[in-house]
Amino acid sequence: MKKLIYLILILLIKFFGMSHALSQGNHITDSLFALLKESKEKAAILNSLANEYLYISLPESMKLASDALGAARKEKNLSEEAKSLHNTASALIILGKYDSAVIILEKSHTLFDRLKNTEGILGISNSMAVINYLQGRLNESYSQYEHNLVQSKKEKLPSIQVSALMNIGRINWLRGQNDVALQYYNEALNIADSLRNEYMQGMIHLLAGISCQDMGYYELATGRMLRATELFEKMNYLLKLPYAYNYLGSVYFELQENEKALTSFRKALDGFTEIGDEWGKAMTYRFMGSSFRRLRLLDSALYFFRTALVISNNLNDGSGELYSRRFLAEVLFEQGQQDSARILLSENINKSLLIGNIPERVNNLYDLGLLYIKEGTLQKGIRFLQDALIITDSLNLFYENMLIYKQLAETYEKMGEPVKALAHYKRYKSLSDTIFTAEKRKNIDELQLRYETVKKNSEISHLKLEQLMQAERLRNQRILGYTLAALLILLFVSSAILWNSYNHKKKANREKEILLKEIHHRVKNNLQTISSLLSLQSHNIADPGVKNAVKESQDRVKSMALIHQMLYQQERTSMIDFAKYLNQLTDSIRSSYCGPGMNFSCTVKCDAVEIDIDTAIPLGLIANELIVNACKYAFHPSGNGELLVSLSRDISNKLMFRVKDNGKGMPADFRIDKTDTLGLKLVSLLVRQLKGDIRYNNHKGTEFIITF
């Protein structure tokens, strides 16, 4: 299944665009449009725009190519006329109109040939190789790319060379030669880096990531695909981004990083929705359903698989229907809806024959066999597993063979047939040992590949520096007359845009910072107002118990106000220096509760710990309750008292908060989960909010220890 999806995806990523016009451009197109307004010779600029819009909007690209053709003929510029024809043919290739594209490519080739333009001729040859590739003539395509690679090296045409290397790598990937494909990709990336061609860099990283994923090198694949998405996001190439997000999500799924996988799939779904790609949406729904299934959110998984099935039906996508229907059946099976699952799997077995998807037929036979075995119809389940085994043996499906032999061994054991069970178990163990050896070999290969990648990057950096120096010398020699003027205009426009963007961003960040400080200031003022109101109210209360309760509420409000006061007084508005907070809090409580005759000392020991506001508020309230309790109840009014307050990290990197006194201690029958006091009940609730636990001991005073 994975290989089929990859094959279709890579064709879409490289060659197929969407016919929906998009309003977005990128910084390159914006600059070219600005230059177009100032220029009298428009054909070259229009052709550059047409090439850029191949990855943004096909209708816009074809319109710009047509405009470039008219401008070139008006300017009597055969070179730009040939380029405009080539751009039109490239758009037709993406649309799948190969016959029309071939006719236009031949016209462009005639013009380039008349001009003796080798770069243009090789570019046409590359496009013809693309058509051969898309129509399944891989050998012809491979030969053309090899010829173009030799010629482009001879003529020193790096862009043609990169394209040839990248496509030779892709053909090797399709043939299952991932290690060879990676060698071509790395060579192509070396040249693309020197050209600073971000589109080529992004495509190479994506293709290399796919090869690494196929080989099981998931961490290397993640790095490559992250780089590809970063480049496509920077260029705003909307047609490429959703596929890159899906690939990245599929690698995260293999690594069982489910939240990251779902984030990538959601980004892909948003992108497909924006460009109207229903096929891509169906595929993403299947990925998301699989992620939710792994998280055991089966109702959500059912929703995504059903939605994918509806879309695949509408698109008449036979394989998509098979995948969606089987995934749906597997979830229903897990929910105990065997009859519904059986109907779907049986339907799939019949339809897989009609569309010729034999591997998917194996998957459905295997699932149906498991279903009957779970129901206790063991003999019938075995028949389905044996039917699947016949196919896997003929197709050399190694991993599927292993699973089937394992299930057959377990089933025969249940039936009381130890001889058959042992025979099938031996076959399973043999295959399992082979896979284990292959995994060990793969890990060694991955370490070697990492070493070679680092070494290659070092060599590339050195070569890139030399090439950049050479390119800079050539650029300085060629900047003459109108080219210099155009560059200055472009530089001015770009600088103005960047400066304006920088100022807006700087202003927005400053306004956000001021707003946050103002919010914290106002919250602090409001809390202080509440504290003052409680203080005024307490003067009119005669009952000592009620008055004491109001005083405790006032202290709690003060502890929260202190946090907001610290936030608006410091530069950072999201994190609290909790050591500073504890010192201020203990000073405030000591001045409120300790009488003049009481010899009381408080020591604060706190590691350099910064805490976010969501943690600081409940922890501050806990500290307030425990310190106030110690001041009020732990010591004799005229005696000596020592209090230790500390916050540190334990060996498991969890935070540990302690409040210890040397006072009278708690009653012998004291239990914190049975306490009647509001303060300690509040402490227990706040500890649960922090997802922590609380302990206490009564040795030489009282000590509360909170870990979270």
For 630-661, the pLDDT digits (tens) are 777 777 766 677 888 888 887 778 888 888 88
pLDDT, the chain, mean: 77
Rounded CA-CA distance 116/511 in Å is 60
Q: Answer whether residue 11 shows pLDDT above 50.
A: no
Q: How confident is the model at residue 594, as a pLDDT?
A: 65
For 327-382, the pLDDT digits (tens) are 999 999 999 999 999 999 999 888 888 877 788 888 888 889 899 989 888 898 88
Strongest mean pLDDT among 146-150, 508-512, 660-664: 146-150
Q: How confident is the model at residue 327, as a pLDDT?
A: 93
Q: Answer whether residue 303 shows pLDDT above 90.
A: yes
Rounded CA-CA distance 525/65 in Å is 64
Q: Contact, 130 vs 15, CB < 8 A?
A: yes
For 408-417, the pLDDT digits (tens) are 888 888 888 8
User: What is 576-582+589-708's CATH superfamily?
Assistant: Histidine kinase-like ATPase, C-terminal domain (3.30.565.10)
**Which contiguous run of DSSP H or E holds residue 527?**
helix 481-539
Q: How confident is the model at residue 465, as a pLDDT?
A: 45
Phi, psi of 297 (to 5 degrees): -95, 75
> Which residue is associated with the tokens 């410091």?
570
> Parallel, antiparallel, or unpaired: how do β-strands 640-649 and 599-606 relate?
parallel
Enumerate the domain spans of the chain: 491-573, 576-582+589-708
Please give the span between the terminal C-alpha atoms of the chain, in angstroms, as a whole number.
44
Q: Answer whether residue 260 shows pLDDT above 70.
A: yes
Rounded CA-CA distance 480/482 in Å is 6
Give whole-number Cα distances, 510 to 506, 507, 540, in Å: 6, 5, 46
- Structure tokens that stand for 91 in this block: 């758009």
Q: Contact, 87 vs 47, CB < 8 A?
A: yes
Q: Answer whether residue 304 shows pLDDT above 90.
A: yes
Burial class (CB in 10 A: 0-12, 13-18, 19+), 213: buried
Q: Contact, 459 vs 451, CB < 8 A?
A: no
Q: Report the candidate in 652, 575, 676 with the shortest Cα–Cα distance to residue 616.
A: 575
Q: How confident is the model at residue 306, as a pLDDT?
A: 94
Q: Answer whether residue 672 shows pLDDT above 90.
A: no
Predicted confidence band at 32 (pLDDT cuts at 50, 70, 90)? low
Rounded CA-CA distance 83/98 in Å is 18
Count each helix (H run) and each strand (E run) in the chain, helices first: 27, 7
153, β-bridge pairs: none
Q: How confident is the model at residue 492, as a pLDDT?
A: 63
Give the distance between the most distant pair of CA atoms in the chain.
108
For 525-579, the pLDDT digits (tens) are 666 666 566 666 666 676 666 666 666 666 666 666 666 666 556 666 567 777 8
For 135-154, the pLDDT digits (tens) are 778 888 899 999 989 998 99
> Parallel, antiparallel, or unpaired: how do β-strands 693-697 and 702-707 relate?
antiparallel
Share of the chain above pLDDT 90, in %: 11
Phi, psi of 647 (to 5 degrees): -140, 125
Q: How many CB atoms lie within 10 A of CB 109?
A: 21
Rounded CA-CA distance 565/256 in Å is 42
Q: Answer whether residue 448 shows pLDDT above 50.
A: no
Q: How confident is the model at residue 165, as a pLDDT?
A: 93
Secondary structure of 481-506 as H, E, C letters: HHHHHHHHHHHHHHHHHHHHHHHHHH
Predicted confidence band at 307 (pLDDT cuts at 50, 70, 90)? very high
Least confident among 57-66, 381-390, 497-506, 653-662? 497-506
Q: Contact, 66 vs 89, CB < 8 A?
A: no
Q: Contact, 113 vs 87, CB < 8 A?
A: no
- Answer yes or no: pTM beyond 0.75: no
Task: Identify residue 332 by its one-letter amino acid code.
Answer: L
For 212-258, the pLDDT digits (tens) are 887 778 888 888 888 888 888 887 767 778 888 988 888 888 888 88
